[in-house]
Structures are given as structure tokens and as C-alpha cells.
Homo-oligomer: A and B are copies of this chain.
């Protein structure tokens, strides 16, 4: 369970199960289409980065109900009137729907479906919570990582946030999503093994503190890791630590500043290392960094070669969630097709199966998106959603390892980012935002559905 293997179908909100029971028991048989999209951008954000599709497809291929799962549900007091037919349905359950999605790494905007599921309604409903949970989290982290890596302006960024990620699984998946968002690697060693992400890390303050003498701590470490080790220099006093390093016989690959006045210290350290001929010793910064702090440090002239970013990245601290939702957009009853939308006051959604069409200008910079019906076509645009699963089976891709999959996502992301208009890359809210509009046909369809709904609701 988690990160592959089998997934319990109970990894969902109870209401998905009660609704599925309702559909099965009432023999409400329809092919439903749900779309997963984000309602609004978080504050100060201008774009999002799709990630987590690999794990979402793993989940869809491997979700099932064990006999213990079924027995648990059957014994719930609220399920006592539910017929056996539903429990039999769960025992046989496997997802057999069709799925379209944005490839990992794709830059997208509110309203644009990240994923579209078409399946028998009970089936499409049962996977809602799992899909949201998986895609929300990696998209959240890849989107944050994109900002952080952009702020580093070409310098490597390593994801360091496992210890404050929301549990162990989150730490591993944050490392994966951060890589898609442009990070060079991670400190999470399991993510290194599982996804072949490059791993980084040398020593913590405790290593220095455990030794009576800081110089001994440095020397002992380099004896075991002679190549390219990064020594931590802020445990007691940065200047004194640098002098000890200059006096060492063996030299480190880099030094790390984790606290204090990183701007002033980096300038002093660079000058001192250079004056000792240690031009190749890199300066690495960590410690409560985020994209804003990195941008300020670099704009102020900090002499830094690489960054380790932890908590801000692994928890997307400025916006630890995005308003991602999974909405019913079409119900195909066999003889009739109904387009669904929700018209409560604040939360209006667009009906119909959608596609996202992206336009670029002459310089190949992205110039705008149109969200249209999937039956529409817009010459000169690129349709972003691609089919990824048919009848519950992944659409065959070349036999490639997890690193190739992620590198493809990272490349896609870096390419998309390079094609964004410059204003969209700013760390503050872009004015104007990236232009996204709904097609005329979609606006018309929404008006029709609205009228039908108003009539049906008799209000």
C-alpha cells in the first residue's frame, strides 16, 4: 500500500461508498465523466505544474476491496440496509474506465482539467478521493518547486524537506514532485532508491557537536567521505570554521551555511576561500529558505552556488493546499446524454467533456489557452490533455524506468516554463494574469444547462 502495490478501496471518504451503494442498489447505470481541476490560483501564484499522474494511474490499476475491507463496511451500522449486491460489487471491483490527463510537468491554470475520468458512475465516484489526494499533493509541491528553482536562476536546488513533510509517504512523494518542478535532487534516500532521484547530504550540527573539536569533526568526516563532501560551518562561528578548513590537509567539495547572516557570510567566505586558493570549494546555503529569500539573497549579491530547501518546499508553506476539485460534467444514460453543472451561488462549474487548447505567439511564447469541448478544434493550438488509460489499462508507453518518466516530466516542465510570458514568472501576482478563456460553445452549453437546472429546481 502507498507508493504502489495494492491500494485498499477504503482509502476514500465514506460518502463515495454510500453513493456507490446508492447507484448499485438503485440500478442507476450511467457512464459518468468527472473532471479534476483547480478553482483558483493561490495568492501570489501565476501558474501550476501537473504532477502525480504516475501514482494516480498506479492507484487506478491497483485499487480493490479485500474481504476484510468488505466485512468492515458490511458491519457498519449505517450500511445495515444495504443489499448484498453492493458488497458483491465491491468484492469484484476494479477500475475499468478511460482517463485523459495532462502529462506530468505541464504548466496549467485554474479551470483546466488536470485529469478526466469516464467510467460507470459508481466506479468513477469511488476513485474520487484517491485521485484528488494523489494529484493534489504532487501538483502542489511541483508548483512550489517551480518557483523555488526559478528563483535560484540556474543554480542547483536540492529538496531537503522530508522531516517536516506530512508523514513519510509525503516526504518521498515531495522529493519526486520537487524533481519534476526542477530540483536537482533530494536528501530523501528512499526516494533516491525508489525513483532513482539523485541524493545529496553530508553532515548535520550533531556531527560537529559530538566531537570535542570542530577541526577533528571536519577531518574525521573527510577521512570517510574524501570526495566532494560539504562541511557545515555554522555550528559555532563561521569565520573560525573556515580557517580550520583552510588549515586541513584534505579539502571539501563545499561548505554549507545553515543560519546567521548568509549574505554577509557568503561574501566573506568566498573571498577568504579564494584568497587561500580554494576557488573550487562551493558555497551551499540552507536553513529556512524559500523562493522569496533566495531571490533576495541573489539580488543582494550573495555568493552562493547551490541551495537546500526544506520545509517551505515539502509543505508548500505559503499555500499548503490548492482548491482542487473533481466534478461531474456529463452523465450518459445510454439513450440520452446530460451535461451536469453545479449552480449553488458560489461554486459554478462548466458542464461537458473538455479539452485545453494552448496557443503560442511567433516567438513560441505561450500566448493564451482556450478551454473548449473535446469535440472542438482550434487550428494553430496544441491540445494538452492526452489519453493515458483505456478500459482501466494504461496506454502502453515505452518500457522505461521511474527516472526516465520523471526526467520527461522535468523536461516538459522546464520547457513549458521557458515558454511562459515573463510576467507570469514573477514571484508576485502577475498583472494581467495568463489569458485563459472558455470557448463560445462551452459558454452556450453552460447557459443551456443552467436554464434546464433552474427549470428543474422550480425556482
B214, A14: Cβ atoms closer than 8 Å: no
Interface residue ranges of A289-316 to B (CB < 8 Å): 311, 315-316
**Residues in B whose Cβ lies below 8 Å from that of A125:** 204, 206
**How many chain A residues have a CB neighbour from B under 8 Å?**
125
> Is A104's beta carbon under 8 Å from chain B?
no
> Is A78's beta carbon under 8 Å from chain B?
yes
A168, B166: Cβ atoms closer than 8 Å: no
1/0 per residue, CB under 8 A from B, across A178-195: the answer is 000000000111101100
B13, A236: Cβ atoms closer than 8 Å: no
Copy tally for this chain in the complex stands at: 2
B327, A316: Cβ atoms closer than 8 Å: no
Interface residue ranges of A121-162 to B (CB < 8 Å): 121, 125, 128-130, 132-134, 136-137, 140, 160, 162
**Residues in B whose Cβ lies below 8 Å from that of A32:** 206, 210
Q: Which of the candidate stretches A105-113, A227-235, A405-413 sits at the interface with the other chain? A: A227-235
B321, A22: Cβ atoms closer than 8 Å: no
**Residues in B whose Cβ lies below 8 Å from that of A6:** none
What's the least CB distance linking A365 to chain B, in Å? 32
A18 in complex: contacting residue of B18, B188, B202, CB < 8 Å = B202
A456, B163: Cβ atoms closer than 8 Å: no
A137, B214: Cβ atoms closer than 8 Å: no
Q: Which of the candidate stretches A266-274, A341-349, A372-380, A439-447 sits at the interface with the other chain? A: A341-349
In the docked arrangement, what's the CA distance between A328 and B163, Å?
16
Interface residues, chain A, CB within 8 Å of chain B? 1-3, 7-8, 10-19, 21-23, 25-26, 28, 30, 32, 34, 68-69, 72-73, 76-82, 121, 125, 128-130, 132-134, 136-137, 140, 160, 162-174, 187-190, 192-193, 199-207, 209-210, 212-214, 220-221, 223-229, 234-237, 239-240, 258-260, 311, 315-317, 320-322, 324, 326-328, 331, 338, 340-347, 453-454, 456-459
> What are 13 A-B contacts with C-beta separation under 8 Å?
A14-B187, A14-B201, A15-B203, A19-B206, A22-B224, A22-B225, A72-B192, A81-B224, A82-B225, A129-B163, A168-B169, A236-B344, A260-B346
